[in-house]
Structure 1
Amino acid sequence: MKLLIVDDSKFTQKVEGNLFKEVIPDLEIYCANDGKEGLQKYSEIHPDLTIVDLLMPNMTGMELLKEIKDIDEDAKMVVVSADVQEKVKQEAYDLGALAFVNKPINKAKIEEILNIVGM
């Protein structure tokens, strides 16, 4: 399984990657530092699951969700963000996110994500 983590924090990329690896040891993990790089990597690797932060330079997470859905309507995307506003969550769902998980992330939230997306 291929996982793409799109977050401008290297620390968050590492933490999320390690937590996913605990649950799925043979996981291939790819990271992108902003939405623009995330879209490029998505197009190259076609991940099974994409984790998206919302607040990033060059292209926001919301813009990334829209761009990915435009090229792959079956994309499995989950937002992991510190933003807890209901209107923000609803916009993410409207753009194709399957789940919206609040930071910080932990192993239980990883398992919840995988359950929601059917993995």
Structure 2
Amino acid sequence: MTIFTLSLFSNPLYSQVAVIVHATNQQALTESDIKNLFTGKLKSFPDGNPVIVLNLPEGDPNQSLFNQKVLGRSDAQVKAFWSKLMFTGKGTPPKEVTAEEMIKLVSENPSTIGIVDSAAVSDKVRVLIQH
């Protein structure tokens, strides 16, 4: 095997992360809307229904990829952002759940939005964006 071939299998940059909602949730969200939901600037879907935002645990490679690609921030910057909001009483970070719990929770509740590895997507959820 060449070094290039080996790097394809060992480089986490080739994985993709998907932002998912319940399969029946037909909300049209822009990437900006998604960013605002995951930073607490929006608390509801465009139709006015409240949203429950779920994150993967801190340090999860898919959460890191989402932070970088969608939020445009490093893990440390996201942590500092939420620390400041919590300290000032202006917000609380999304609940953290495991990758296994993510699909289950999102597929059970149309008000939920979350993040998973694209390979974990099932027909029980709908993908809004993929990076």
Flag the structure with larger Rg: 2
Q: Which has the higher contact order (CA 8 A, sep 6+)?
A: 2
Q: What's the TM-score bracket when you normalise by the shorter of the two chains?
A: 0.3 to 0.5
TM-score (norm 2): 0.30
